[in-house]
Structure 1
Amino acid sequence: MDRNKTAVLARITGKVQGVSFRMWARAEAMKLGLTGWVRNEKDGSVKALIAGPEEAVSTMLKRLRQGPPGASVSGVVSEKADPDEWPETFSITG
């Protein structure tokens, strides 16, 4: 693994479902050259695995705190992740 590459698992809460959050997150991640996935959770939150260069991951976490128009993000909690396999793309799941 590249020393500059990192991964985080983030949980985003607030009004984040039904506002195109996953499509927006995928587009933002792709602009930053990140890989991973984003998905809706049953509790109304959104979860995302974000992988790539540390600076780009940090920028993505800042963007997640803002969210797309129509969203109202109340919190973003992230933790270091060590994926079994590093994703090759950024996808929307679940």
Structure 2
Amino acid sequence: MDVNETERPAPVRGTFFVHGDVQGVGFRWWTRARALELGLVGHARNTVDGRVEVVAQGPAGAVDRLHELLTEVPSTTRRPGRVTQVVAQRGGPRDGIDSFVER
């Protein structure tokens, strides 16, 4: 086993339910762009109740940074829409996810 493989931190999974004016304003596209910049995989999808569900997995620091970007007030990255609340859940990663997509 390569030494770098043993030092690589285990990936984590973050699920974020984003409340506010976040549908129909480019929010999922913006989230996907930030996640790809951070090297994360997962998805962003609209829910029937007006929230956006963001599932991101990868290094803990990158998942934490995406959470910061989702909650940042004011947004320094020109985040579209208006976020009023982000509810976060953490867990272990799931197999078979190899990109970040908008659903």
TM-score by length of 1: 0.87
- Fraction of identical pairs, as percent: 33
The count of aligned residue pairs is 92
Q: 2:17 is matched with which residue?
A: 11
> RMSD of the TM alignment (CA)?
1.7
What letter matches 2:95 in structure 1? E
Q: Which runs of 5+ in 1 are unaligned?
A: none
Alignment of 1:1-94 (within 5 A): 3-66=9-72, 68-93=78-103
Runs of 4+ in structure 1 displaced over 2 angstroms? 66-70, 81-86
Cα gap change, 1:78 to 1:69, in 2 (>3 Å): closer
In terms of mean alpha carbon deviation, does 59-68 or 14-23 score higher? 59-68
TM-score by length of 2: 0.80
Q: Which of the two has higher C-alpha Rg?
A: 2
Would you tell me which structure has more strand in proportion to its own residues? Answer: 1
Q: Which runs of 5+ in 2 are unaligned?
A: 1-7
